[in-house]
Amino acid sequence: MPAAVTLLARATTLLDEDHSLRLQSLPELGSALMATGDFTRADDVLTQALELAATAGDKRLELRTLIEREFFRTFTHPESSTEELVSVAESAIPLLEELGDDFGLAKAWWLRSEADVNAGRWGARAESLERALTHARRAHVKRDEATIIAQLAQALAYGPTPVAEAIRRCRELRASAPDSPAVEAAIDSTLAGLHAMEGRFDEARACDMHARALYDDLGLRYLRAGGHSLVSASIEMLAGDVDAAVRELRSGYDVLERMGERGVRSTIAAFLAQALVAQRHYADAAEFTRISEDMGAVADVVTQAVWRSARAGAFAHAGDISGAELLAREAVELQASAMLGLAQVLRLAGRSDEAGDLADEARERHERKGNVVAARRALAFLAEPVR
């Protein structure tokens, strides 16, 4: 990817400002810059591309660039509303259909699915990405095809799809692009998290290390620091190695901070706070919940739920049970996976029966997903003696 940035940048300097090939290259350069984490340069390039496309009257290129600008906004201004994102995608789709632009449609359907990520609608996210993948394959754009496959695999892992089925589908997706190292990295990263849910930690870590090496070789610094650090940390949290999870999350957070990225960083801050609570570093945990609260999009239910759950844990151990319960209940309203956190707060409040009911419901949810390790953890909570 760094080599692609260099070649695209050189190409654009060799052509006249209004040359059609230069206009087509600028959005590609902006996209490549985002993949390497150079968001400052990407902003300048995409701004220029949009102005030149509008001046040239190239509607197809203008729509593509508008879509790239919305991706940029999700990375750098996650606190803004998703309404504009949805509006740009849904307005562009019929226009791109009229133009017969499969490449643009792949990007538009992918962009549309970003709103579903924020809302935690993983099934809807997967449906939009399946449509995006169809258009990417028609357009023969291998790089975007690889990224869409990566996002689709992630949706299968995070959503309600049972672990065994998600593993099967991930292997199918990898087989559909056998010569793509980017697809191999993405699928191995997702499989790592799925194997950890099954309790197969040696296999999970092997997949994780292989994906990490591929991301480094490809120069995909943003993906390596963002989504992959979350997967690595989730493996270690399930394995019970909290210190390793904290190291992974701090490393990813620091890299994204240097890039100026804010979208995934707000999510990493929330999960880092949660890991720090498990590490009993409550002051540090509270600080990262504040960072996540300040940066995170209001519509990003995962981030909003996790930082609330983490802060509830910090409050509870500081003796503020009522404040902890309020936050923990808000977290559960946003995302049901926060149930065990609320159960822990209720147990500290002496309400063991309520805590037990929540833990039992959490166990059932994890069993339906096939997350054996999380289900066992909920079962262990139920078996703990009440103090």
Q: What is the pLDDT of residues 286-318, one digit of tens each?
A: 999 999 999 988 888 899 999 999 999 999 989
Spatial CA neighbour of 339 closest among 316, 362, 360: 362
Domain 240-387, CATH = 1.25.40.10
pLDDT value at 384 more than 90: no
Position 80 scores a pLDDT of 64
From CA 368, how far away is CA 164, in angstroms rounded? 11
* pLDDT-wise least confident of 98-112, 114-128, 154-168, 184-198: 114-128
- Per-residue pLDDT of 203-226, as tens digits, reads 999 999 999 999 999 888 887 887
Position 66 scores a pLDDT of 92
Spatial CA neighbour of 341 closest among 304, 316, 366: 316
Mean pLDDT of 72-96: 84
Kindly report the backbone phi and psi dihedral angles of residue 37, in degrees, each rounded to the nearest multiple of 5, phi listed first: 90, 10
Measured at the CA of 371, the angle between CA 366 and CA 376, to 5 degrees, comes to 75
Dmax over CA atoms of the chain, in Å, equals: 75
From CA 15, how far away is CA 276, in angstroms rounded? 52
Q: How confident is the model at residue 386 (pLDDT cuts 50, 70, 90)?
A: low
Give the start-to-end residue ranges of the domains of the chain: 240-387
pLDDT value at 88 more than 60: yes
CB-facing half-sphere around the CA of 188: CA atoms within 13 A: 20
* pLDDT-wise least confident of 168-172, 190-194, 203-207, 258-262: 258-262
Say what the pTM is: 0.83
CA 382 to chain centre: 31
Is there a contact between 342 and 359 (Cβ–Cβ < 8 Å)? no
Position 227 scores a pLDDT of 79
